Amino acid sequence: MTFDTIAAIATGTGRTAIGILRVSGPGAIPAVEAVFRPAYGKSPFSCRADRTLVYGTLYDSQGRAIDQCLATLSHGPNSYTGEDTCELQCHGSPAVLAAGLEALFAQGVRQARAGEFTKRAFLNGRMDLTQAEAVIDLIDAQSAAAARNAAGQLSGSIRRRIDGIYDRLVEVSAHFDVVLDYGDEDLEPFEITELERVLDTCIDQLDALLSTVQRGRQLREGVPCAIVGAANAGKSSLLNLILGYDRAIVTEIPGTTRDTLQETATLGGVLLRLTDTAGLRETTDRVERLGVERSRQTLEQAELVLAVVDGAKPLDADDWNVLALAEQAEQVICIVNKSDLGIIVDIEALKARFPGTVVLSAATGAGLKELEQAVAACFPSGAGEGSGELLTNLRQADAAAQARAALARAREGLQRGVTPDMLLTDTEEALHALGEITGRAVAEDVTARIFSRFCVGK
């Protein structure tokens, strides 16, 4: 597959120490050679060894020196895109980068579109679609765990799992094709047993992959976490403590927070989508009542609830109401706040009901370490984490679910003794769905939608 030559600024648009111009395509090396002159050595830039940094001068479209920079080249197919690729590592002045890009355009190079470098890598067979999507996941990773999972996917972990299932199903489809071509031959009993075993194995492997979707989503997007409590329990102070700065207004007046505040933070190695809520209590104030209703909705949607109580005073009806609502969440941590004022509530009684109870002071930060440990305990690392085997992509998960459903129909049909052509239809549907995951069989509009998420220089 042959493309034209593209270029883009691969780094940020603001002032930075280093700015990179990336060029890829059949004319990449001649274009860079026209605007860049090595400082040392008699051999031209095009004759330098692959992936070797070359020091020299960058010139604008008028032939005027604009920077002293480093350049490197990689001949296709052994490059990121699979084409001849060059990079100019300049000083990060936006003016310099713009002038350098204009000089490349003067050599017949065009502006790259969003994600076009990685799209070319996919189309040229340098990576499959799961690896391409892992690139943007790695760029967008908001926690170390998410970065590790994306790096594992970039190395091909998901592709290898899918390819194993795909190859088995190709053999099954080939078997059914033979049966259809030679209809007078009957399936022997041992062959039926073997087919059932293969289908069961493939279904089990897809089930295992699909079971990682929720944890994968949590790694990528964060765990929806609601901070709830009665008025003046210290919810906003807790949010500020977790974030490390004063995001929410804190006063001694109950009902200060009247709406939900949303922020993202990592606590105990877990990415949390935190929502600070209005105090849950009965009120005649119409505005505050709307905030309380939003608090209840946030609590219902949360996968982790931090239920805050004021430990320096006896628990009242509002506190017990909050705790009762919090118990309905998937994960709940009871936080006994204001330890700096002296705790008078029965901690052991709360721990009996909420084993993850933590005593802390949102004012001083005492107990934050224990809260981090409690959050980490709610979301322990599971099998596949760190190796990239967690499905974080809803497109991939949907295709895997379609493949699983098709295989379930094939297994049921085999048990009912349906004709081979019906079984072939189901297995081919599963193969198509699996092919969509890795890119073996994917529509052009889907590909365009995937790469539109990328930045221009990637």
pLDDT reading at 217 higher than 80: yes
Residue pair 433/407 in contact (Cβ under 8 Å)? The answer is no
CB within 8 Å of 29: residues ≥ 6 apart: 45, 46, 73, 75, 84, 86
Max mean pLDDT range (177-191, 254-268, 415-429)? 415-429
Mean of the pLDDT values across residues 7-29? 92
With contact defined as beta carbons under 8 Å apart, do 224 and 273 qualify? yes
The helix (run of H) or strand (run of E) holding residue 369 is helix 368-378
pLDDT band at 263 (very low <50, low <70, confident <90, very high): confident
pLDDT band at 27 (very low <50, low <70, confident <90, very high): very high
438-453 pLDDT, tens digit per residue, is 988 755 655 676 677 7
Q: Which two tokens stand for residue 110?
A: 């065009």
Answer yes or no: are the C-beta atoms of 457 and 97 closer than 8 Å: no
> Residue 327 in 3-state DSSP?
coil
pLDDT at 371: 93
The pLDDT value recorded for residue 255 is 47
Predicted local confidence at residue 178, as pLDDT: 64
Q: List C-alpha distances in Å: 298 to 4, 111, 448.
A: 50, 44, 35
- pLDDT confidence tier of residue 407, bands split at 50, 70 and 90: very high
The pLDDT, as a whole number, for residue 377 is: 92
Q: What are the phi and psi torsion angles at 25 (to 5°)?
A: 135, 175
Q: pLDDT value at position 249?
A: 46
Q: Which of the pair, 117 or 42, is modelled with greater confidence?
A: 117
Structure tokens at 1: 């597959």
387 or 18, greater pLDDT: 18
Give the predicted TM-score (pTM) of the model.
Answer: 0.76
Query: Which two structure tokens, joined as six digits, stand for 237?
Result: 């102070």
Per-residue model confidence (pLDDT) at position 247: 64
Whether 253 shows a pLDDT value over 50: the answer reads no
CA 458 to CA 445: how far, in whole Å? Answer: 19
Range from 31-35, 120-124, 262-266, 279-283 carrying the lowest mean pLDDT: 279-283
In tens, the pLDDT along 71-105 reads: 999 999 999 999 999 999 999 999 999 999 999 99
Helix (H) or strand (E) holding 155: none
Evaluate if residue 39 carries a pLDDT over 60. Answer: yes
Which pLDDT score is estimated for 228?
A: 87
The H or E element that residue 254 is part of is none
- Average pLDDT, stretch 385-393? 77
pLDDT at 179: 61
The alpha carbon dihedral of 72, 78, 80, 81 has a sign of: positive
Confirm if 189 and 414 have CB atoms less than 8 A apart: no
